[in-house]
């Protein structure tokens, strides 16, 4: 019996230089990221062995690299790059990435702008 379980990394916080406005790319700002990795965890539940699951330190490293080492104008592009790498580099059947940008340069008040992208293998 196969199922899709989830490993969830919630509210990772990084500093990145993403945005349409030059000041956003020059000064940088805070980005918050959630990741849900879908896979069958039945082997890991039985074995209690890291090789039977996803090492989520690797997922964290991928998200951190994309946020801190690359520069995108749009958070859509940032989230898309994360999704592509997570699907390509980890043994998962699906990935959901949610990127929040709390400091949005708008003429108004809001808590954050966010993008959510989900892909299946």
Q: How many residues does the chain have?
A: 121
Catalytic annotation on 6? no
Residue 94 CA to residue 24 CA, distance in Å, equals 31
Which of 44, 49, 36, 52 minimizes the C-alpha distance to 93?
A: 36
Rounded alpha-carbon distances, angstroms, from residue 18 to 58, 77, 105: 22, 10, 12
Q: Which entry of 89, 101, 108, 112 is annotated as an active-site residue?
A: 101
Catalytic residues: 101
């Amino acid at each position: 019996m196969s199922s899709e379980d989830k490993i969830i990394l919630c509210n990772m916080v990084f500093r990145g230089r993403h945005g349409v406005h030059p000041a956003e790319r020059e000064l940088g700002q805070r980005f918050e990221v959630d990741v849900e990795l879908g896979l069958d965890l039945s082997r890991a539940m039985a074995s209690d062995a890291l090789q039977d699951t996803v090492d989520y330190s690797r997922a964290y490293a991928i998200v951190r690299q994309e946020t801190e080492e690359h520069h995108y104008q749009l958070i859509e592009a940032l989230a898309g790059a994360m999704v592509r790498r997570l699907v390509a580099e980890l043994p998962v059947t699906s990935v959901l990435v949610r990127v929040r940008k709390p400091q949005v340069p708008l003429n108004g008040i809001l808590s954050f702008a966010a993008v959510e992208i989900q892909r299946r293998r």
